Amino acid sequence: MFSIGNYVMFSLDGAVGTVMETKDNKCLVAWEDRVCSWATFDLLRKISCAELIQIFTPK
């Protein structure tokens, strides 16, 4: 299950965001590009803070 504040990754394009609200089987997510949208649980994967840092740390 997802909770407010969880970091998530969208499985279709790898976009990263933060869960702002949950309702039924959907999450309202604030995405990295500052857009908010609803996504179903099956399209989201929880990621840890460590994974988030790895994603955004320049190589």
Q: What is the pLDDT of residues 11-50, one digit of tens each?
A: 999 999 999 999 999 999 999 999 999 999 999 999 999 9
Q: How confident is the model at residue 59 (pLDDT cuts 50, 70, 90)?
A: confident
Give me the number of domains the chain comprises.
1
In a domain, 40, yes or no: yes
The DSSP secondary-structure symbol of 34 reads S
Provide the pLDDT for residue 25: 96
In whole angstroms, how far apart are CA 21 and each of 3, 10, 48, 49?
8, 16, 18, 19
In a domain, 2, yes or no: no
CATH number assigned to the domain comprising residue 45: 2.30.30
- Which residue range(s) make up the domain with 39? 7-56
In a domain, 42, yes or no: yes
pLDDT greater at residue 27 or residue 55? 27
The residues near 32 (Cβ < 8 Å, ≥ 6 apart) are 15, 16, 17
Provide the pLDDT for residue 6: 98
In a domain, 21, yes or no: yes
Provide the pLDDT for residue 27: 98
In a domain, 46, yes or no: yes
In a domain, 12, yes or no: yes
